Amino acid sequence: KNEVEQSPQNLTAQEGEFITINCSYSVGISALHWLQQHPGGGIVSLFMLSSGKKKHGRLIATINIQEKHSSLHITASHPRDSAVYICAVKKSSGDKLTFGTGTRLAVRP
C-alpha cells in the first residue's frame, strides 16, 4: 500500500464546477505539498501546508493532521485547470518528499 493515496485517479468536470481532490497518508508528516503538473511535464508548487487551510485565487487547500487527510478544492473550474494534481508529503523523519500518483483533471468548456 502506498504511503500517499489520492482520489479520484481521474476526474472530468464541466467548466464552472466545484472540484475536490483528496489525499490520504499513512505516515507522520511535517509538511504536505500540492503540486500541479501540466502535460509537458513541468511541475508547479501550489501550496505547502502543515496545518489548517490556505487559499490562493480559486484554489483552496485544507489539511487535517489528526485524520491524515488533505483536500484541494478548485472553485469555478476552467479548462486551463486541466492538469495532473499531485500530493506530496515530507515525513517527520527525513528530508525527502513522498509523492502520490496524482489525480488527472480534465475540465471541459
Cβ-contact 22, 86 below 8 angstroms: no
Among 11, 48, 60, 65, binds other proteins (CB under 8 A): 48
Per CB under 8 A, the list member of 26, 51, 75, 101 interacting with other proteins is 101
Going by C-alpha positions, the residue among 61, 68, 51 that lies closest to residue 85 is: 61
Residue among 1 and 109 whose Cβ is closer to other proteins: 1
By CB under 8 A, residue 10 contacts other proteins: no
Restricted to residues 26-45, the positions that interact with other proteins (CB under 8 A) are: 30-31, 33, 35, 40-45
| Residue from 81, 87, 84 nearest 69 by CA | 87
Only segment of 11-19, 20-28, 67-75, 98-106 that touches other proteins (CB under 8 A): 98-106
3-state secondary structure of 80: helix
Grid cell at residue 33:
505539498
Separation of alpha carbons 95 and 89, rounded Å: 10
Q: How far is the CB of 79 from other proteins (least distance, A)?
A: 21
When asked if residue 102 is in the footprint of other proteins (CB under 8 A), the reply is yes
Work out whether 90 is an interface residue with other proteins (CB under 8 A).
yes
Cell 527525513 belongs to residue: 94
